[in-house]
Structure 1
């Protein structure tokens, strides 16, 4: 996806997030309908579905590329989440997740992962080496340490990293300079963290090719 296209895509996501709750079928109705022709299903919007757990039927759609599970009271994702091998977009915003299953490493097509408003304390190592272009971990419990920077360094296609609204981020990782050599990262969102303006100015000088939003 070209840069301009990626920005337009995220603008569309922001708009659809606020509008999609109205006039929508229940998650159960959507799944029953989709299950009639599983091979044709590429997109499922199950946001606001109050599912509690991820239903097994979601693994019967071999061509699923786009999955919205936001605000579903989820405390975990299934151990076989890696079976979504064609998934490009996954939204788990507003659940109660603090870990990802080991099989998550197998999501070899995943480009966009929205996991804001959960309970992650660090950037999940299960994301390492995935082809992510945009990663949203805003409003979690991140402290942003050296291990997190190491993981970001191995997300070679990552363009956008949002770790805003993580109030436990109160200092810069000692190895933050390693991101200066990142091949793609161009936007780092640090709004509403515990960082001071002086910290952010240091980050901007250390990472001159990355736009830091604060």
Structure 2
């Protein structure tokens, strides 16, 4: 399926203007508009991006290419249909906020513990039974949202 033209136009504009914030969320295009089912590959050439909002779309995967966006400090993927997140997400070490809430995640990659600059982590509204022990490495984390999951235990290392 081709990427809807309005998304392509916004991505081109971001590249041309060297924008640091790209909002391709449903809030920009409205409830009735077409939604993204995959992340357009053109986004991964926007190395200057610091904020990427893809919330409220129909995304089912996050490609490994996301790691090209090394300057990201906010990544909002809430309200999609993500079942997994790649292990490479742990390479986005400048992230301070990661929102993966209201998806269909059953696991979180161990590499999430590499995101030591995170202050906000939203994992609520998924299908998680457990979270990785490595989350104890997130010593700058001030807000973590885990409600509305199926958690049996939470590692004691969280909150250290």
Q: Give the shorter-chain TM-score range.
A: 0.7 to 0.9
The TM-score with structure 2 as length reference comes to 0.83
Between the aligned partners of 1:102 and 1:36, the Cα distance in structure 2 is 31
Match of 1:62 among 47, 53, 65: 47
Q: Tell whether the 8 Å contact from 1:66 to 1:88 is kept in structure 2 after alignment.
A: yes
Larger Rg: 1
Indicate yes or no: 2:11 matched with 1:31: yes
Normalized per residue, which structure has more helix?
A: 1
After TM superposition, the runs of 4+ consecutive aligned structure 1 residues lying more than 6 A away are none
Structure 2 counterparts to residues 42-121 of structure 1, below 5 A: 42-48=20-26, 50-121=35-106
Pick closer, same or farther for the CA change 1:153–1:58 going to 2, 3 Å.
same
Q: Tell whether the 8 Å contact from 1:44 to 1:68 is kept in structure 2 after alignment.
A: yes
Matched residue, 1:186: none
Between the aligned partners of 2:44 and 2:153, the Cα distance in structure 1 is 40
Between the aligned partners of 2:94 and 2:123, the Cα distance in structure 1 is 19
Secondary structure at the counterpart of residue 16 of structure 2: coil
Matched residue, 1:204: none
User: How far off its partner does 1:149 sit?
Assistant: 5.4
Between the aligned partners of 1:45 and 1:102, the Cα distance in structure 2 is 24
Matched residue, 2:121: 135
Q: Tell whether the 8 Å contact from 1:47 to 1:70 is kept in structure 2 after alignment.
A: yes
Between the aligned partners of 2:66 and 2:86, the Cα distance in structure 1 is 7
User: How far off its partner does 1:46 sit?
Assistant: 0.3
Match of 2:145 among 162, 168, 178: 162
Q: Aligned-residue CA RMSD in angstroms?
A: 2.0
**Ranges in structure 1 where 5+ consecutive residues have no aligned partner:** 1-25, 183-214
Pick closer, same or farther for the CA change 1:128–1:28 going to 2, 3 Å.
same
Q: Tell whether the 8 Å contact from 1:112 to 1:133 is kept in structure 2 after alignment.
A: yes
Secondary structure at the counterpart of residue 29 of structure 1: helix
Secondary structure at the counterpart of residue 161 of structure 1: strand
Q: Tell whether the 8 Å contact from 2:91 to 2:114 is kept in structure 1 after alignment.
A: no
Between the aligned partners of 1:90 and 1:35, the Cα distance in structure 2 is 18
Q: Deviations over 1:54-101 (max 9, x none)?
A: 111111212100000011211101121111100000000011112222
Between the aligned partners of 1:84 and 1:125, the Cα distance in structure 2 is 20
Secondary structure at the counterpart of residue 11 of structure 2: helix
State how many pairs are aligned: 148
